[in-house]
Structure 1
Amino acid sequence: MTTTNTQAVAPTADLTPDTTATQRWRYAGMNFGLTIPAQTTSFLLLYYVDHLKLNPTWAATAMTIFALYNAANNPLIGFLSDRTRTRWGRRIPYVRFGALPALILFGLLFSAPFNGTDQPVALMTYFVVMFVLWEGASTAVGTGYLALLPEMFRTFQERTAVAWRMNAVQIVALLVGLALPPLLAGMLGWTVMAWVFAAVSAVAIYAGVGSLFERPNSRERELGFFTALRATFTHRAFLILVTALTMRFFATGTLAAGMGFYVRYSLGIEGGAATTLLLAGAFVTAGLALYPWRTFIAPRLGPRGTLMLAFGLTAVSLIPLALVKSLAGAAMTTVLFGAALAGLILMGDVVMADVIDDDELRSGQRRAGMYFGMAGFITTLSSALTAQVFGAVTRASGYDPKLSVQPDAVADGFRFFMTVPPITGALLAMAILSFYPLHGARLNAVRDALARKRAVSAER
């Protein structure tokens, strides 16, 4: 398809693909096993607070402290992956040897042997310990996996091809990890549901491990931790992008965490089937909408413009949740949100790869681990923000999981939680992205310069 916009035009050099379609699919398929546990943990508040009766203020405080801990370990893990030297490479060992422990910890996270009524301190302790251990292990695996993307797939064509596959796989994983847990928990129990998901995720991850490879990496001019940290924090494009993505994860995280409460207390519908239906509608729609976003919108608007439009549509799509009273009305709203969600997820990894390419020109190194680690450091703060908003809303509305009948204000409280915070986050992200510099002619210049640099290196 021909387009006159320069934002999405690929460079004229470095066009030879280095990977096969099979390698791209196997790499993308691993995203299925990484996404399911990460998204299922969105139901931890529902599991620990509504199911096990943990004090909601305690839970919100624990998740805030955890988010700060996780923010600190992300850049450290990314830095270590950049400097790791093994016979398997820098990134691959984190995936190969870290995935199984991470999935076991995920199963244990939903296997709490205590309850908040009789053993609140023990339950709180178990929650914090398991959450910290799981997140540390899963961060190492996820950082290693994502850091391989700009290394394995070097051309713009390869990256967009694998990004499309990753997004398609991710949509299915989102459907499983966000839409099915309430339904399966009602049928099998939360614990069995988690262990089933852990087994499915293990199959998906290890089916793709054999396709991973790394390129020789120069050991020249390796940066120390604080020097690398400073270099990353002075990269304007990176700071703008991750700030916007933090607002994205705040918006989507609020929706995921609050949907079960919204269905039960705002719509007055018991059981997990309705929550599953609403979330499934969103993700099925997102999957169907990937093609028009990729084919008609992204080539014309480029990565930045695509993300800005998607955030704007996200804000508009969520307004009806404050007004609808029926499951049908909520379903129509989540379908609209799904159409916007497709645009949000389409360009995320491609845009981050552009930032890493720009840094390679600046620093002379491929520091993908540090960048994905720092991205995790900043975006993880969205979890703390979500937890604090959840705690404030539940306190203000009088929600108490131990009450058989909740105060009338609870219904409006969760309507507020599902609309005002995510809409605000989406609009802020849209405004922040207006300052993102890697677009249009400047982005093409970066791609061309890097292609020429790699061509010269290949000739030596």
Structure 2
Amino acid sequence: MQQQVPADRGQRRTSPFRYGVGMFGTSIPINLIKGSMLYFYVELLGMDATVFAGVYAIYGILDAIDNPVFGYLSDRTRSRWGRRKPYLVVGSLVLLGAMIALFSVPGSVAASATSLVIWFAVFAILSEMADSLINANYGALLPELFPAERVRASANGIRQGAQLVAMILALGLTPVLAQNVLGCPVDAVGCTDPTVGYSRLAVIFGVIGVGVILYMAFGIRENPAIADEKRPPFFASIRQIVTNRYFWTIGVVNACYGSAIAIVLNGLQFYVRYVLGGGGLEATILQVAVVVGAIGMLALWARAVRRYGAERVWKTALPIAALAFVPIYFADSLLTAVLAGLCIAVGYSGVLATNDLIMARVLDDDARRHGIHREGIFLSAFGVLGRLNGLIVAGALASLTLFFGFRNGADPGDDPATAFRVYLSVYPTILLAIGTVVSRFVHVPGWNGSDDDSGDGVSEHGGSPRAERVETFRGDLGD
């Protein structure tokens, strides 16, 4: 095959570090939101848990709807700044404002149950939409910027490591920072406003997160050859995606995994308070231990991926992750909870190390078969299933009121400890068990129709001009 001169000749290529560190910026805001929003509104502001669950269900539905729309718009965009960069910049700025407002509830609003619900709904949904816009574009860049699998795995390893570091800050340190450094614990004598620490932290983490996103966005170099491709049609793309067998297998597995993690993020501060009898410091110790453990295990899982391939490691990590949530049910002290949390870290890091590599292969397969790059809408369509975890989280939360009488911090029911043991252990175990079963029916596509993860990222596309341009671009990036 005679290759054409690539359109990007002479341009700088995107550094895997520059791209990967962007995950630090995207993760800080959303982890603060996911990890503290429930505690902030239900425990500190007294919102009824069933009301929160209702709003969260709407949040989940809108989250699922806007994903394919954002992906479609991104795939069709042609601008001097590229397809993805404009949305990363706009989305990050909207997220900054919405997140700060979400955790900065005026006293007059907090005093009215109706006003509080409206405030929560508006800014939670706006934050969600901005996060969807950012991640639809950020995730779509991985297969485009790094078509060679070894380079792709390196970039993915950097971004997953960056995500875990962000989790240490936005999840692990949030309780102690918000309750003991920037604010005060809800039960402390003389604490008149236990929400102020979270409000201040939202500003700090928001500014840091947006700064890193912008640093990443202005350093990426998209493939200019893709601008010559035909713009993907919306309905035809959706039809092809939903009839793709991977949509209903890998998509369901990812949804189960995402729902399990969302439940844990939402409920961990409650678990520490009602099961362990601890506060911000104990919550920080437990979360930091889990995330640091995951960071340590991530390197081992990455080695396993290089040796055995992403698919085999992915299918091994899922059942380990399911079983890892069992010990947290029986923990009765901070020490035993930390040990149980380290078990969770083992399974969590294994899925984390492989999920995006699995998805990138599906995107490669779609581009190869249909001759068009539509990573944004494809990932976003998959995200419909994943983002519907809002409905699962809402249902799990509502079940605590139904079965255990838990409503909020002022009315926790007769046995909140058992309620949050079930919430943090039983529900994630069930979800990941379902994901494990479904994964057994998946055979992930390979670069050359094989299952070899060690390939150099070059696949046969036939003789079309588009294929030649993309193939040359791939060869240029190389290893």
The 3 A distance-change label for structure 1 pair 291 and 19 is farther
Name 1:242's counterpart in structure 2. Answer: 251
Q: What are the within-5 Å matches in structure 2 for residues 436-451 of structure 1?
A: 436-438=442-444, 442-444=450-452, 448-450=458-460
Residue identity in the other structure for 1:205: I
Name 1:101's counterpart in structure 2. Answer: 94
Please point out which of 417, 421, 426 is paired with 2:427: 421
Name 2:123's counterpart in structure 1. Answer: 130
Alpha-carbon displacement from aligned partner over 1:88-127 (angstroms, at most 9, x marks no partner)? 1111111123312221211111111258873110000000
The 3 A distance-change label for structure 1 pair 222 and 415 is same
The 3 A distance-change label for structure 1 pair 259 and 220 is closer
The 3 A distance-change label for structure 1 pair 141 and 459 is closer
**Is 2:345 the partner of 1:334?**
no
Superposition deviation, residue 365 in structure 1: 0.3
Asked whether the equivalents of residues 371 and 467 of structure 2 are also in contact (C-alpha less than 8 Å), the reply is: no
Q: What are the within-5 Å matches in structure 2 for residues 61-140 of structure 1?
A: 61-114=54-107, 118-140=111-133
The 3 A distance-change label for structure 1 pair 263 and 281 is same
Please point out which of 264, 281, 285 is paired with 2:273: 264
Please point out which of 384, 390, 405 is paired with 2:391: 384
Name 2:25's counterpart in structure 1. Answer: 33
Determine helix, strand or coil for the equivalent of 2:136. Answer: helix
Instruction: Please give the TM-score of this superposition, normalised by the length of structure 1.
Output: 0.90
Superposition deviation, residue 356 in structure 1: 0.6
Please, which runs of 5 or more residues in structure 2 have no aligned partner? Answer: 1-9, 183-196, 474-479
The 3 A distance-change label for structure 1 pair 434 and 459 is closer
For residues 26 and 356 of structure 1, the distance between their equivalents in structure 2, rounded to whole angstroms, comes to 22
Superposition deviation, residue 33 in structure 1: 0.6
Name 1:433's counterpart in structure 2. Answer: 439
Percent pairwise identity:
28
Alpha-carbon displacement from aligned partner over 1:205-255 (angstroms, at most 9, x marks no partner)? 222223211112255554421111111111112331121011001111111
Asked whether the equivalents of residues 68 and 384 of structure 1 are also in contact (C-alpha less than 8 Å), the reply is: yes
Please, which runs of 5 or more residues in structure 1 have no aligned partner? Answer: 1-17
The 3 A distance-change label for structure 1 pair 153 and 220 is closer
For residues 385 and 208 of structure 2, the distance between their equivalents in structure 1, rounded to whole angstroms, comes to 29
For residues 150 and 286 of structure 1, the distance between their equivalents in structure 2, rounded to whole angstroms, comes to 24
Please point out which of 358, 362, 366 is paired with 1:359: 366
Asked whether the equivalents of residues 238 and 355 of structure 1 are also in contact (C-alpha less than 8 Å), the reply is: no
Determine helix, strand or coil for the equivalent of 2:442. Answer: coil
Superposition deviation, residue 395 in structure 1: 3.2
For residues 88 and 81 of structure 1, the distance between their equivalents in structure 2, rounded to whole angstroms, comes to 12
Determine helix, strand or coil for the equivalent of 2:21. Answer: helix
Superposition deviation, residue 306 in structure 1: 1.4
Greater CA drift, 72-81 or 144-153:
144-153
Superposition deviation, residue 204 in structure 1: 1.4
- Runs of 4 or more off by more than 6 Å in structure 1? 18-22, 451-455
Asked whether the equivalents of residues 244 and 429 of structure 1 are also in contact (C-alpha less than 8 Å), the reply is: yes
Instruction: Please give the TM-score of this superposition, normalised by the length of structure 2.
Output: 0.87
**Is 2:185 the partner of 1:193?**
no
Determine helix, strand or coil for the equivalent of 2:314. Answer: helix
Residue identity in the other structure for 2:16: R
For residues 451 and 208 of structure 1, the distance between their equivalents in structure 2, rounded to whole angstroms, comes to 31
For residues 202 and 124 of structure 2, the distance between their equivalents in structure 1, rounded to whole angstroms, comes to 14
Name 2:402's counterpart in structure 1. Answer: 395
Name 2:284's counterpart in structure 1. Answer: 276
For residues 421 and 452 of structure 2, the distance between their equivalents in structure 1, rounded to whole angstroms, comes to 44
Asked whether the equivalents of residues 56 and 391 of structure 1 are also in contact (C-alpha less than 8 Å), the reply is: yes
Superposition deviation, residue 264 in structure 1: 0.8
Alpha-carbon displacement from aligned partner over 1:366-399 (angstroms, at most 9, x marks no partner)? 1101112112211011121011111111332112
Determine helix, strand or coil for the equivalent of 2:164. Answer: helix
